[in-house]
Amino acid sequence: MSSNQVTNAARQINAMTYKDGLVDLLIGTFFTLLALQEPLEMQGWPIWLSYLPSLGAMAVGLVIYAVVKRKVVAPRIGLAKVSLKRNPARRNIFLFAVVLQLITLVIFILASTGWLSQNLPSRPGWLVDAFFAAATFGFFAFMGYTLDAPRFYIYGLVLAGTMMAQVALRGDSRLVAQLPIIFAGLVMVIGGVVALTRFLKDYPVVETEESDE
């Protein structure tokens, strides 16, 4: 083992944890079903209820994730419990996500109170979307780097592209504008399926040699 590997112990553990592609499947399914929100709202569903399919799928997905992790992944690769306190990489991702959420909240408040239109009347319409697209790419790229999972860079690019494509399609049908997000979600689902297939092939079930003494 090289000294570089020793210093990257936390990164190696993170990379092992995300090798199975389950997180990709979870996030991909969420984004794909998020595209249902607009059609449901158009059908007269209240906004909060129109998010039910994607949030519901996320909740069910989390349960399935835990079961698959325990029944399928653990016998092949084992399990590690890692807290934010011990693992700087995960802590940084968490902090990045919190900062992003706070910025989103501030921009949402500025936009909904009319501050943005009063103080920046000549701003291009896509400015806020471009900011979120760049932030989303930054977040996924950061995840890709800290988790040693290059496929997250692609997800970041696809999602950022999706956001800008939705801006371009705003003039068209509201349903057509959902196509990019379906595309982004499916890219992640496919990425997850590929990662899971490779994982199952590369890691057969380990015959443990533990005695029950």
Partner 1 sequence: MSDQGPADRHPFIGLDRTIHSPARLMVMTYLYVADSVDYVYLTHLTGLTWGNLATHVGKLEEAGYVEVEKTFVDKKPYSVIKLTKQGREAFKSYKSQLKAVLDDLPE
Distances (CA, A) of 64 to 23, 32, 183: 11, 17, 23
Binding mask 2-41 for partner 1 (x = CB under 8 A): ----x--xx-xx--x-------------------------
Secondary structure letter of residue 172 according to DSSP:
S
Of 28, 75, 145, 187, which one interacts with partner 1 (CB under 8 A)?
A: 75
Residue 101 CA, chain-centre distance (Å), reads 14
Of 22, 23, 77, 149, which one interacts with partner 1 (CB under 8 A)?
A: 77
Helix (H) or strand (E) holding 148: none
Of 29, 50, 87, 178, which one interacts with partner 1 (CB under 8 A)?
A: 87
CB of residue 148 to partner 1, shortest distance in Å: 13
Distance (Å, whole) CA 62 – CA 78:
19
Q: Does position 190 bind partner 1 by CB under 8 A? A: no
Distance (Å, whole) CA 100 – CA 106:
10
CB of residue 145 to partner 1, shortest distance in Å: 17
Distances (CA, A) of 127 to 134, 163, 167: 11, 12, 10
Of 42, 46, 66, 86, which one interacts with partner 1 (CB under 8 A)?
A: 86
CB 65 within 8 A of CB 22: yes
Of 2, 44, 47, 81, which one interacts with partner 1 (CB under 8 A)?
A: 81
Which residue do the tokens 């499916």 mark?
186
Q: Does position 206 bind partner 1 by CB under 8 A? A: yes
Structure tokens at 207: 């015959």
Q: Does position 138 bind partner 1 by CB under 8 A? A: no
Binding residues with partner 1: total (CB under 8 A):
26
Q: Does position 74 bind partner 1 by CB under 8 A? A: yes
User: Considering beta carbons, is residue 39 or 78 the nearer one to partner 1?
Assistant: 78
Alpha helices in 83-202 (DSSP H): 88-112, 115-119, 127-146, 151-168, 179-202
| Footprint of partner 1 (CB under 8 A) | 1, 6, 9-10, 12-13, 16, 74-83, 86-87, 203, 206, 208-212
